[in-house]
Amino acid sequence: MKTTACIYQGNCQEQLKLLANDSVDLIVTSPPYADQRKSTYGGIHPDNYVAWFLPISAQLLRVLKPSGTFILNIKEKVVNGERSTYVLELILEMRKQGWLWTEEFIWHKKNCYPGKWPNRFRDAWERLLQFNKSRKFNMYQEEVMVPMGDWANARLKNLSKTDKVRDISKVGSGFGKNISNWLSRDKAYPTNVLHLATECNNKNHSAAFPEGLPEWFIRLFTQEQDSVLDPFMGSGTTLIVAQRMNRHTVGIEILPEYYEMVNAALLPANLSLFDIELGHELPKSESCV
Ligand SMILES: C[S@@+](CC[C@H](N)C(=O)[O-])C[C@H]1O[C@@H](n2cnc3c(N)ncnc32)[C@H](O)[C@@H]1O
């Protein structure tokens, strides 16, 4: 089945108002960090960050389905030798706004470059904050299972004979039964740490996601034909990956050059690869119904 891809150029605080209530299954985004990258697309002072973001998160709360999830990639910088607290303040304010702060995933940047600072080590991780509207949200955990490796064998080696035959009814913990269950499996559930290299090959945007990042969350929180939104789409990584995974996509970008780049990269809405090979072309609209 075909999917739609709708992109808008402008400030997402305004453009989000065009989207319907409760219409999006997953939001994955990375807004500009406070005071970072001033030279490229404007920085927001850390003191103003929460006030700047709250009207946007209010719109995101409105457009997200009750069963949906919002993943916010963000990391506070160091100011005057101290970590800024704006991310922590933002979490508290978003909770007041009605969001549940359900989980925090860590993006471990496997390829962060070496360096030396007098009072800290190099930054090798960023936050991926998970927010929800409701405690009952869609989650497809089996879609992100990882190979078991030799964990079960190594773990069993350290157990006594009694441990190996331990009966749930005797200890009341279920531990013995769990171990034997895992022995017969070749896949385990992942942790909340994602080990992904930063994207160095995307010459078109200075802060592009590695494709594996949105892909992992799209697999975990959506199914085919669900909808994925990135209100700060940049080079469009979230949309391009979502479209490839047969999800409907919506993106917003303030800078015309990035908007045009994504416009060229996406398959036109309602066009299949087959249509394109035949030379059919449909206009891409700035509206999403
Ligand atoms: C960190 S980058 C996102 C990169 C993206 N994840 C990717 O893979 O390319 C943030 C983007 O948000 C855009 N932006 C900044 N303020 C915005 C606003 N108010 N509304 C929409 N886009 C905005 C910037 O121009 C920039 O391209």
Query: Tell me, what's the pLDDT at 172?
Result: 61
Distance 171 CA to ligand 1 centre (A): 53
For a pLDDT cut of 90, what percent of the chain falls above it?
61
Query: Tell me, what's the pLDDT at 110?
Result: 87
Query: Tell me, what's the pLDDT at 198?
Result: 84
Q: What is the pTM of this model?
A: 0.87
Best substitution site from 17, 41, 49 to test ligand 1's pocket, by max atoms within 8 Å of Cβ? Answer: 41
Query: Tell me, what's the pLDDT at 29?
Result: 98
Q: Is 253 touching ligand 1 by the criterion CB < 6 Å? A: yes
Query: Tell me, what's the pLDDT at 161?
Result: 63
Q: Is 32 touching ligand 1 by the criterion CB < 6 Å? A: yes
Q: Is 241 touching ligand 1 by the criterion CB < 6 Å? A: no
Three state DSSP letters for the chain = CCCCEEEEECCHHHHHHHCCCCCEEEEEECCCCECCCHHHHCCECHHHHHHHHHHHHHHHHHHEEEEEEEEEEECCCEECCEECCHHHHHHHHHHHHCCEEEEEEEEEECCCCCCCCCCCCCCCEEEEEEEECCCCCCCCHHHHCEECCCHHHHHHHCCCHHHHCCCHHHHCCCHHHHHHHHHCCCEECCCCEEEECCCCCCCCCCCCCCCHHHHHHHHHHCCCCCEEEECCCCCCHHHHHHHHCCCEEEEEECCHHHHHHHHHHCCCCCCCHHHHHCCCCCCCCCCCC
Query: Tell me, what's the pLDDT at 112?
Result: 78
Q: Which portions of the chain are predicted below pLDDT 70?
A: 36-42, 151-153, 155-181, 183, 200-203, 268-289
Query: Tell me, what's the pLDDT at 289?
Result: 34
Q: Is 207 touching ligand 1 by the criterion CB < 6 Å? A: yes
Q: Walk me through the domains of the chain, giving residue ranges and CATH numbers.
A: 5-143+190-277 (3.40.50.150), 146-188 (no CATH)
Q: Is 234 touching ligand 1 by the criterion CB < 6 Å? A: yes
